[in-house]
Amino acid sequence: MEAASLDALRDSERRYRRLFESIGEAVFMTDASHVVLDCNDAALRVFGRSREDLIGSSAAILYDDEADLEALAAPLATVSERLLRDATMVRSNGSRFDAELTLYPTHSPGAESAGWLVLVRDVTALRQDQRVVAESEALLRQVLEILPVGVWIADEAGTLTLGNAAARRIWEGERHVGPEGYGEYKGWWADTGAPIGASDWALARAIRKGETSTEERVRIQCFDGSTKLILNSAVPIRDDAGRICGAIVVNQDITERDALQQQFLQAQKMEAVGRLAGGVAHDFNNLLGVISGYGEMVQRGLAEGSRERMKLAHVLAAAERGAALTRQLLAFSRRQVLEPTDVDLNQVIAEMEPLLRRLIGEDVELVTRLGSGVGAVRADRGQIEQVVMNLAVNARDAMVHGGRLEIETGEGEPAVDAGASSGHDRWVALTVIDNGHGMDEATRARVFEPFFTTKDPGKGTGLGLATVYGIVQQARGHISLETAPGCGARFRINLPRVDRANAVATSQPSPDGAIPTGDESLLLVEDEESLRGVVHEILAGLGYSVMVAGNSLEALALAAGHTGQLHALITDVVMPGGGGRALAEQLCAARPGLKVLYVSGYTDDAIMHHGVRQHEMNFLNKPFSADVLARRVREVLDAPVPS
């Protein structure tokens, strides 16, 4: 070989060696049998071996698993450019590291392939970082899956790339889609053909404008056709350069919470109505008491059958209807004063019929069938009115386009449960029937639960039928329901029948018109001047010696200055400057044996607030007639002195 050719070859080898050594990654060369032919200094450093130890040895000493080396034999003859492989390599001290191999086939003149040029890149740190990222992503997915709120992650095109279980439940409704089933949600926020169909939603604003939106209330249509109310929030995702590359969306299903809030607001409204009704009833009852009291006194002085007496009878009848209207108003607002008496269901329904007709509307036909000889039940009349009213309202709401409401009374029957009928062998039945839309079995099973309602938000508290159930249970009765979708509903209430011979005294005068009289000394305390005057005149006309006071302080002063015996205190419960209970306690302490009759036109909770429990004390509810007042005062005076 000529000297010039030798010099050129040596120069080429030097350039090759410099290039070979300048590669920062470990490089070694093998023949077709994987014997190491050459390597650079970086390979010696990476593997911790000497050149003499490595060159001439099988490359198998560099691989943790010989299968990685054997796998190169198959593609050896077919690879023309390069081959990428991952492998676990071994250093001379036995330590292992993750490597990314780039293999180039080496060709000799006249041979298809003579071996491999292998570049070894230590990616242990990279693989560790990738494992950390993968573990973090797995942890993030686990956290997302257990979150009670829906979370979506979208890319810059609005395509959902990740969604948790809560998010899928919100949007799918009853239809189940697997954790990876996001394809059909793609473009859900866009303008065209999207389930949401609103380009100004939080997600769209986050991606298009970079806006952050929090808790916007949106009513959505789910993929199964149902609707829900959600709180929708979105925040844009930005890359290191500040460019928007996606968004995080949070959905919170507040459908049930909103319904409960609406029920609570409705309950608050009813509470306000009840308080208003209590105040109106108090003032109205005082006015009715004045009208009835003076009217009865005037009536007794008029000739029987005279035109004036007949006219006055109409006035008194109107006052009685006003009192009945007040009771029904309090029943509707659930604030009536509880007074258990022997109640005739037929009479209650007959008197309520005009009110019920106005309540249910002209498009609902009302039919009443009152059985003969039904008998009485022991209950609070106001509560019975409330039961009838609640069932009528419930029936009306079930007949959206009008219908027929039937109310029946008749002989009842005990419950199947022997405990419910213990001690009672005769029952009275009240049945309310409508031809509305009816209920399915799931609804029927929950219909008496408090706050359960099938009505739209704001149209029901879910307390009507629960209140009916509680009243019936309190009266030691039972209630049943027969219903089916499209077949209306039949509520049947059975209450224990009481013997009319044991009925308590009614508010009607005795047939002979006799009113009990007396000559005892009474102290009357009433803050309403007009009512105080009529009660004073009634009692004085019956022969009693009456001292009158407008408040507790006046009453205490009168009692202190009265040297004789004081037989009874008749006092209003709620008065400015001190209630009747406190006044009675002071006077009873000073005068042992003093009888007390409490009078009030306020609602039951207001009376309880002032320490008066009607069933434990003598109580007279306003408005009252002269006859009822006279008999009640006589009952209190004739009763034994309490221990």
Q: State both tokens at 161.
A: 């790339």
Mean pLDDT of 268-285: 69
Q: Is the pLDDT of residue 266 over 90?
A: no
Residue type, 10: R
Produce one character per residue of 175-203: b if its CB has 16 or more CB atoms within 10 Å, e if not: eebeeeebeebbbbbbeeebebeeeebbb
pTM: 0.45
What Rg do the C-alpha atoms of the chain give, in angstroms? 47
Other Cβ atoms closer than 10 A to 491 = 23
Give the mean pLDDT of 247-266. Answer: 83
**DSSP code, position 62:** G
429 - beta bridge partners?
410, 494
Q: How confident is the model at residue 475 (pLDDT cuts 50, 70, 90)?
A: confident
Residue 277's pLDDT is what?
Answer: 66
**Which residue type sits at 549?**
A
Length of the chain: 643
Residue ranges covered by each domain of the chain: 3-122, 141-253, 338-503, 521-638
Is beta strand 619-621 parallel, antiparallel or unpaired with respect to 403-411? unpaired
CATH number of the structural domain 141-253: 3.30.450.20
Q: What is the 3-state secondary structure (H, E, C) of 551-613?
A: CHHHHHHHHHHCCCCCCEEEEECCCCCCCHHHHHHHHHHHCCCCEEEEEECCCHHHHHHCCCC
Residue 118 pairs in a beta bridge with: 28, 103
pLDDT digits (tens, 9 = 90+) for 478-505: 888 898 888 889 999 999 988 654 444 3
Look at the domain 521-638 and name its fold. Answer: Rossmann fold (3.40.50)
Q: If pLDDT is split at 50, 70 and 90, which confidence band does 605 have?
A: very low
Most trustworthy range by pLDDT among 272-276, 614-618, 621-625: 621-625
Closest CA to 598 of 623, 619, 625, 576: 619
- CA 223/CA 299 separation, integer angstroms: 74
Q: With a cut of 60, say whether residue 639 has pLDDT above it.
A: yes
Query: Is residue 234 pLDDT above 60, yes or no?
Result: yes
CATH number of 3-122: 3.30.450.20
**568-572, strands of its sheet edge to edge:** 545-549, 521-525, 568-572, 595-600, 619-621
pLDDT digits (tens, 9 = 90+) for 415-440: 655 444 455 678 999 999 999 888 88
3-state secondary structure 93-139: CCCEEEEEEEEEEECCCCCCCCEEEEEEEECHHHHHHHHHHHHHHHH
**Domain 338-503 coded CATH 3.30.565.10:** yes
Sign of CA dihedral 321, 324, 329, 332: negative
- Give the per-residue pLDDT at 490: 92
Q: Which amino acid is at 296?
A: E
Answer whether residue 57 shows pLDDT above 90: yes
Same fold flag, 141-253 and 338-503: no
Query: Which stretch of DSSP H or E encloses residue 288?
Result: helix 255-300
pLDDT of residue 268: 74
Nearest to 399 by CA among 426, 451, 366, 435: 435
